[in-house]
């Protein structure tokens, strides 16, 4: 390039826009997954979109910038004739009126660059040259724009640019501008190949910033990856097209793997852990409280954890949300997790026979009230011992919290001990032991 700059006057250098031949008929969209053509059969829709938006469009933009940097003449408006907006016939590879060579045409016109004979032989397709180059009609477009540029009768067409996405609660906003020194006299925009830009969850507002610049404000509240097609014409009727993708994809809600739903805690210190999008901020909420009760960050392995201390006695319900560190978009809430904080042991009282008392009844009724503030105790939560031997035939009334037992055989004269153990759902254990005497 340095040698070229030394030997060629920059005013005599014309750099032509590259045609993007990835669009077909009026409502066909991208050329992809077409079984009737050996080339398109192997190209997916995502690959066709990638070729357009990540390769061809940036290439044209870089060439335009290079022309401006070096003082060359950039010949634009070519691609806008090959690739028309949705609803108009384009002239790409899969069009009924293509302006580029198909693989079959290249095979017949130039022949395969292989010694293997046979039109349908795959080796011929791989080695045929000329595919996607402009055909005669395509070259006429080049001729017209180059001659126009030389004579000064045509301009490159409007220049497009897109802002970085602006994220806020529940939406993403992107601004696209088209600029041309002669002014913008026509514009159109379509989203997701619908032919319109006012669809559910997507709006496009247009305004003129000045006599040379037009701005579209794209607002998206609909989840997914959305493709916008723009066309603008300048006062010389030179058209430019632009394709831009806007993604609105809040992160998935966090997973809370611990504590498990319905679990208990005995000390008021509850540790939450789980998985979420790496780098996202996890915010924990308690039901009935609009303000978060804690937050953490998901590490590179998607793991996160946080501990709440001083949690009050009782039942608590928690959910978590994840906020993407780049976009600021926040997920919906996770499934709720219920945790019961129970730091209090069960109580054992109203003892019969009374502690230290004496009775002449050798089969006395042995009773106690056993209850817990957080757990509706059952017989399985209680153990009864008489003189050190476990008794399993006692009764327990959950409605009254009353334990009762009557020995089936006469107790011996003398001292006897009773011990009741109660364990609540949190694992708190209470033990009560007392004694009485059987006398004559």
| Residues contacting residue 42 through CB under 8 Å, at least 6 positions apart | none
From the number of C-beta atoms within 10 Å of its C-beta (0-12, 13-18, 19+), residue 230 rates as buried
Provide φ and ψ at 45, rounded to 5°.
-60, -40
Tokens 């031997």 label which residue?
A: 389
- Residue 147: the pLDDT is 76
What's the number of CA atoms in the CB half-sphere (13 Å) around residue 2?
Answer: 0
Provide φ and ψ at 159, rounded to 5°.
-105, 135
Q: pLDDT tens-digit profile of 169-205?
A: 778 999 999 998 877 877 878 888 777 787 888 999 9
| Residues contacting residue 162 through CB under 8 Å, at least 6 positions apart | 174, 175, 176, 177, 242, 244
Q: What is the pTM of this model?
A: 0.53
DSSP 176-189: EEEE-TT-EEEEEE
Provide φ and ψ at 334, rounded to 5°.
-75, 175
For residue 349, what are the β-bridge partners?
369
Domains of the chain: 2-99+134-151 (no CATH), 159-248 (2.60.40.10), 255-341 (2.20.130.20), 347-438 (2.60.40.1220)
On the question of a cis peptide bond just before residue 439, with omega within 30 degrees of 0, the verdict is: no
**DSSP secondary structure code for residue 278 in this structure:** T
| Cα–Cα distance for residue pair 367/72, rounded to 1 Å | 103
DSSP 99-124: SB--HHHHHHHH-BSSS---TT-HHH
For the chain (440 residues), the mean pLDDT of every run of 10, in chain order, is 61 85 64 62 76 84 88 85 67 79 68 49 54 78 79 71 85 91 79 79 89 90 88 79 87 94 95 95 94 95 96 96 86 94 96 97 97 94 97 97 96 97 96 96
Q: pLDDT tens-digit profile of 287-333?
A: 999 999 999 999 999 999 999 999 999 999 999 999 988 778 888 99
């Amino acid at each position: 390039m340095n040698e070229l700059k030394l030997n060629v006057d920059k005013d005599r250098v014309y750099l032509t826009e590259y045609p993007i031949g990835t669009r077909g008929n009026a409502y066909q969209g991208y050329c992809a997954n077409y079984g009737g053509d050996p080339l398109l059969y192997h190209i997916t829709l995502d690959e066709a979109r990638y070729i357009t938006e990540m390769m061809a469009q940036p290439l044209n933009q870089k060439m335009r910038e290079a022309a401006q940097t070096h003082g060359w003449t950039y010949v634009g408006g070519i691609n806008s004739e090959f690739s028309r907006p949705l609803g108009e016939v384009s002239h790409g590879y899969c069009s009924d009126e293509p302006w580029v060579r198909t693989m079959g045409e290249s095979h017949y016109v130039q022949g395969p660059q292989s010694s293997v004979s046979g039109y349908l032989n795959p080796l011929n397709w791989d080695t045929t040259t000329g595919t996607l180059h402009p055909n005669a009609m395509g070259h006429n477009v080049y001729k017209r724009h180059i001659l126009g540029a030389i004579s000064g009768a045509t301009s490159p067409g409007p220049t497009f640019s897109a802002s970085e996405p602006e994220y806020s609660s529940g939406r993403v906003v992107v601004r696209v501008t088209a600029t041309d020194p002669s002014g913008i006299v026509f514009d159109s925009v379509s989203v997701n190949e619908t032919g319109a830009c006012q669809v559910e969850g997507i709006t496009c507002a247009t305004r003129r910033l000045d006599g040379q610049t037009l701005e579209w404000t794209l607002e998206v509240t609909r989840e997914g990856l959305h493709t916008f097609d723009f066309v603008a014409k300048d006062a010389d009727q030179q058209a430019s097209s632009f394709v831009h993708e806007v993604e609105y994809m809040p992160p998935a809600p966090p997973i809370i793997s611990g504590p498990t739903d319905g679990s208990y805690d005995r000390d008021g210190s509850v540790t939450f852990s789980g998985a979420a999008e790496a780098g996202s901020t996890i915010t924990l909420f308690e039901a009935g409280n609009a303000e978060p009760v804690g937050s953490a960050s998901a590490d590179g392995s998607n793991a996160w954890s946080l501990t709440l201390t001083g949690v009050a006695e009782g039942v608590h319900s928690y959910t978590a949300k994840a906020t993407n560190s780049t976009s600021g978009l926040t997920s919906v809430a996770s499934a709720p997790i219920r945790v019961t904080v129970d730091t209090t042991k069960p109580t054992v009282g109203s003892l019969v026979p009374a502690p230290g008392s004496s009775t002449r009844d050798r089969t006395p009724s042995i009773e106690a009230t056993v209850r817990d503030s957080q757990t509706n105790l059952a017989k399985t939560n209680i153990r009864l011992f008489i003189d050190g031997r476990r008794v399993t035939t006692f009764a327990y009334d959950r409605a009254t919290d009353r334990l009762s037992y009557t020995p089936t055989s006469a107790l011996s004269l003398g001292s006897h001990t009773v011990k009741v153990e109660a364990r609540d759902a949190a694992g708190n254990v209470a033990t009560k032991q007392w004694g009485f005497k059987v006398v004559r």
